[in-house]
Structure formats: C-alpha cells, structure tokens
Amino acid sequence: MTTDIRGNALSCSDDAARRLDAAMAKFHIYQADPVAEIDALLAEQPDCVMAHAFRAGIFATTTDKTFDAELQSSLAAAEALAPRANAREGAYIAAARRWADGDLQAATETWAGIAIAHPTDLLAVQFAQLGDFFLGQSQMLRDRVARVMPHWQRGMPGHGYLLGMHAFGLEECADFAGAEAAGREAVAIDPRDGWAAHAVAHVMEMQGRAAEGAAFMQATAPGWSPDSLFAFHNWWHVALFCIDQGDIAGALRLFDERVSAGGFGQALEAIDGSALLWRLWVLGHDVGERWSQVSPRWTDRIGHGVYAFNDVHAMMAFVGTGDRTAQLAVVETLERAAVGTGTNAMMSRDVGLPLARGLMAFGQGDYAGAVRHILPARGIANRFGGSHAQRDVLSWTLCEAAIRAGDARMADAMVAERLAAKEGSPVAQGWAVRARSLRRPLAA
C-alpha cells in the first residue's frame, strides 16, 4: 500500500506519493510553488486522485473568483477519478465540491472529519483551519489543531508546522503566552515557517508590542520572506507596527516594496493593500497614487458575490479613489448575495452590507452615518471571517468617524476601547487628545 510521509493511504504510485509530500510541505509553509509541483506530477501521472483533490483545495481556499476556472478544472478531474479513490481522498473531493458550491461550513467540517479519522493528515488540518479562518471561527482555529495533537510527537515530519497552526489558533483565542511560545518554537524548528512567524506577529499586534513585533519580524524575515507566497501578509504586519509607532514613511515604503510586490494578483494580497492604505487614509495621511494600484485589481472581482470580506475591502479601495460607480456596484453585489444561498448570503446580509454602507458613508463625509452602520455590525464581524487584527480596521474607522462627527460621547467610548487594548499606542493617544477636545467645559 502506498502512503504519504506520515502513513496515510494513497491510491497512487510511490513516486507520486513522494512528490505529493514535497508539494504539501511547501503548502504548509506557503513557499512557492506547490501548484507548479502538482502540475508537473499530473503531467506525468494524470490519474493521481489526491493531486487533483489537493489542487482543488488550494484554489478553493483562495476565496477568489479569478481562480474559479482552475478550481472547477481540478474538481472535474478529481470527480472523474473518484471511483478509484480511497475514502479519505473521496472526502477531500467532497470538501472541495462543497466549498465550490458555496457551503463553506460543510466543506470545513468535511476536512475536519478527515483529520479526526486520520489525525496525522496535516493537509486536512490545514484546510480545516483555513476554513475556520474564512468563517471567523476563532475557537475552532485552536480546537481543530488541539484535537489531533495527542497523535503527534516531536520529530515527526511536519510537527513544527502543526505547532505554527496551533499558535495562530491560540492567539485568536487570546492565549497570547501559549501562542507566542508555540510560534517561536515552530520558527526555531523551521525558519521558513511564515505562518508560525505570523502567529507571533499577531500576538504582538494584539498586545500593542509594536517595536518588539517589528524587530521580531525583521529578524526572522531571512527565513520566511524568500520565495514565499505569504510574505506580503507578514510585511503587512510589519507595516501595521510602523503605523503604531508613528513611522508613516516606513509603512508606505513597505507597501511599495513588499505588500504590493505581487501586483495584487490574488484577493488576499488586494485585501492587505486595501486594509493598509485605508488605515493610513483614515488618519489623514497622504497615500499618493497608491489607491490606483489596488482598485483596478478589485474591479474584476466585484459582481461575483463570492466572499463578503473581499467585497468590503474592495469598497475601501473604491472609496479611496472616489469611484462612486464602483462603490454602488459593491453594494449591489452584496445585496444580491444577501438574498442568495450558501454561507456568503449570511456574511453579506449580516456584516458585509452594513460595513460597505458605513465605509461609503465615511468617504462621503457622513461620519455619523458611518458610525451608525459600522457599530452594530462590528460586534458580529467575525461572522464574515478574518482575524482579530484584520477586523480591527473597523474599530480604527469608528474612532476616527466618531471624532470627525463631533460626537463627544461616542468618541470617548471608542477611544476608551483603544486605550484599554493599546494604552501606549501613539495612534490611540492621538485619538484620545482629539476626543478630549470635543468635551464641553462643565458649567460653573
């Protein structure tokens, strides 16, 4: 019987199994280019079921309609070969199909079920955690990994990658000490593990340790940055640390040299580009012509109603460029998605629409309207996915909107939240000064 490197059965040749192991190892740490390795394998052995299922899972979890043709092609090939697949491989095919059909929850639970039945199947754990991330399920980001950890020991192939996944889940559940320890251990095992380094960056972002976070990421960058499909996001974290230290020039330089390096060829890159520029733009900083680098990459992605989280970040770019027509197109996309079927209908209805309307109001100078739309949705924003650090852009926007609206009580409340989380942040301190200026002197 052919198996992968951790003993999970495969219905392919031994050579194909070893090549799959190599491609999966790259995917576990987001090193380039696992798809190229899969394609080379399939060119020689087109009947390798798991290669097609693996490829489908990769393209599914981009949450990017741009790659839909690749997803559908892989799914069709995998489903045609399904009669020769084993049960585990068949479940992978079913998970990708459920994702493609818009049922992100069912797909995630299917990958999770594979991991329960085969706890050393690291790819199933990873796909399930990615599903939890896109669904905003913080507890499951931790618990999917915790379920399988008793079946792993130090020294097993990929154990460090499992630690890195667990580190991120621990951070999203606010176990910052445990997350940092696991993340640092994973980076020590394999310095290329950008996901583990990113988990440590999240810890330091949430704790307001901007200087320390920037130093950690710069020190570890020689490991995770070269030949990485994920480096843009880690550099985005460094840019956030720059903003929180008042180094706006440094943040813009990282946008120019690192965050935009891939030309925003995938939605995840465009999300980071929008989110970084929005934070700077909301604070009143001049971002030059940079919005024009991001917004065209969103133009081809609106109208599909695939993932509301993407649509909200598209709205940021269109507000930044002042493109009213594109802003209305985003709202229309979300309105259509909200009455549709699948996971994204709920995401669009509950979170995407109010946030998009709030961002549009902010761009029009209707700051009270921005608060009115964003504030109720912020508390349930986990429903449309992302991390705490990514969704923090909503609190960021609320602080600025409340101050600009001249609403002293709301400004005090929003700024108090920021100070409780990041008392030493220069950005938060700046908001505090401006919020205090709104208070009327007490009558004598």
Rounded to 5 degrees, φ, ψ at 425 are -70, 125
For residue range 131-176, list pLDDT tens digits in order. Answer: 999 999 999 999 999 999 999 999 999 999 999 999 999 999 999 9
Phi-psi region of 199 (alpha: psi -120 to 50; beta: other; left: phi over 0): alpha
Instruction: Work out the pLDDT band at 1, boundaries 50, 70, 90.
Output: confident
Both tokens of residue 240?
A: 């956030």
pLDDT for 435 beyond 80: yes
Residue 428 has pLDDT above 60, yes or no: yes
Over range 424-440, report the average pLDDT: 93
- Torsion sign across C-alpha atoms 232, 122, 49, 78: negative
For residue 5, give Cα distances in angstroms to 17, 24, 118, 347: 8, 10, 13, 38
pLDDT at res. 266: 94
* Residue 44: pLDDT over 80: yes
Which whole number is the average pLDDT over 97-114?
98
- Report CA-CA distances (Å) from 82 to 88, 328, 355: 11, 43, 41
pLDDT at 439: 84
Q: Is it the case that residue 209 has pLDDT exceeding 70?
A: yes
Structure tokens, 332: 């229309």
The stretches of 207-247 forming alpha helices (DSSP H) are 210-224, 231-244
Q: What pLDDT, on a 0 to 100 scale, did the predictor assign at position 324?
A: 98
Residue 268: band (very low, low, confident or very high) from pLDDT cuts 50, 70, 90: very high
On average, the pLDDT of the chain sits at 96
* Strands 2-3 and 9-10, sheet pairing: antiparallel
pLDDT tens-digit series, residues 326-359 = 999 999 999 999 999 999 999 999 999 999 999 9
Contact present, 399 and 418 (Cβ < 8 Å): yes
Q: What are the domain boundaries of the chain?
A: 262-444
Whether the link from the prior residue into 193 is cis, omega within 30° of 0, is no
Note the pLDDT of residue 441.
59
Asked whether residue 443 carries a pLDDT value surpassing 50, the answer given is: no
pLDDT grade for 23, boundaries at 50, 70 and 90: very high
The whole-number average pLDDT for the span 14-22 is 98
Q: What pLDDT band is residue 437 in, cutting at 50, 70 and 90?
A: very high
**pLDDT above 50: residue 442:** no
Q: How far from each other are the two terminal CA atoms of the chain, in whole angstroms?
A: 87
Query: In the predicted model, is pLDDT for residue 205 greater than 90?
Result: yes
Q: pLDDT tens for residues 210-249? A: 999 999 999 999 999 999 999 999 999 999 999 999 999 9
pLDDT band at 300 (very low <50, low <70, confident <90, very high): confident
Q: Which residues pair with 10 in a beta bridge?
A: 2
pLDDT band with cut points at 50, 70 and 90 for residue 424 = confident
pLDDT at residue 254 tops 90 = yes
pLDDT in the model for residue 287: 98
Total residue length of the chain: 444
Residue 248 CA: distances (Å) to CA of 209, 240, 311, 364: 17, 10, 26, 24
Contact 388/176 with Cβ under 8 angstroms?
no
H/E stretch holding 334 reads helix 324-338
Backbone torsions φ then ψ of 2, nearest 5 degrees = -85, 140
Tokens of 437: 């200026």
Question: Is the predicted pLDDT of residue 440 greater than 80, yes or no?
Answer: no
Percent of the chain with pLDDT over 70: 99
